[in-house]
Amino acid sequence: MDTDSQKMPLADRDAVSGLPGATPPPRIALIACRVFEEEILRHGGSAPHIAETRLLEVGLHDHPDNLRKVLQTEVDRFDSRDDIEAIVLAYALCGRGTAGLRAGRHPLVIPRGHDCMTVFMGGKEKFACQQAANPDSYYFTPGWMKANRTPGPARLESLRAEFSKNFDPDDVEFLLESEKANWAQHGRAVYLDLDTLGADEKAAEAEAAADSLGWKFERIPGDPKLFQDLLAGRWDVERFQIIQPNAILDHSPDERIFRERPPGV
């Protein structure tokens, strides 16, 4: 059964948040993928209402079931905290790695999106429009580049070193060719600029990777609004899913992406 999170008091705060005399933002704990580290630093992560921030490794995305397990452990660790009102997840659906999370004492808040590009672009509608216009795009951001997860020579060398630990040379070459075959469906590299530190250098690095692959390159502005509102507690139900205590975060097979499942259902 699906319930309507519009009843959630925390969501009601958004109607006045940021206005003169408004209720202060709720005190939150932030659990974030490290892919957002630079954006957190740039767009409000040091605000005093954020009681604690925990950054988790990008590689957890490779195994959604493990991502869910680690996230649940992190959520559960905040059950004993009396100094927070909600737990904010800087994640998206992430291969369904967040679906199935259970809220404890504190509500969970997560942006509605299939993956983190929704957050970088400021909303799922903007991402959908970008994809519809340029379906062969591969997106570069500081966090993905720092984790060496974006196509190009550096990624190949990293994979070569990793594969060589476990496979014979012929198998290593086969695996690398398979990786390059996956890249072949793309032809446009896009650096999403959210005004983070060192953006010019990162954009140049992304452009060099695109040149090595024979791809077109564009640097386009991201939109930090969704991310800023996530951190600031400005949570409307159109852009954010709020899960009440003890309820379950479910995948919704429609444009909402998430829905709440009550405990015991």
Same domain, 93 and 25: yes
Q: What percent of the chain has pLDDT over 90?
A: 89
Structure tokens that stand for 263 in this block: 């405990």
What tens digit of pLDDT does each residue of 236-262 get? 999 999 999 999 999 999 999 999 999
Enumerate the β-bridge partners of residue 252.
257
**Distance between CA atoms of 260 and 263, rounded to whole angstroms?**
9
**Torsion sign, CA atoms 260, 239, 108, 67:** positive
pTM of the model: 0.89
Same domain, 70 and 50: yes
Please give the sequence-ordered ranges of beta strands (E in DSSP) within 49-145, or none if there are none.
Answer: 50-56, 86-90, 108-111, 137-140
Same domain, 83 and 104: yes
What tens digit of pLDDT does each residue of 24-36 get? 899 999 999 999 9
Same domain, 179 and 243: no
Same domain, 113 and 239: yes
Same domain, 209 and 168: yes
Structural domain boundaries, residue 206 = 124-221
The average pLDDT across 7-27 equals 55
Q: Taking Cα atoms as reference points, which of 75, 70, 69, 71 lies closest to residue 105?
A: 75
Q: Residues of 131-148 as b/e, b for ≥16 C-beta within 10 angstroms?
A: eeeeeebbbbbbbbbebe
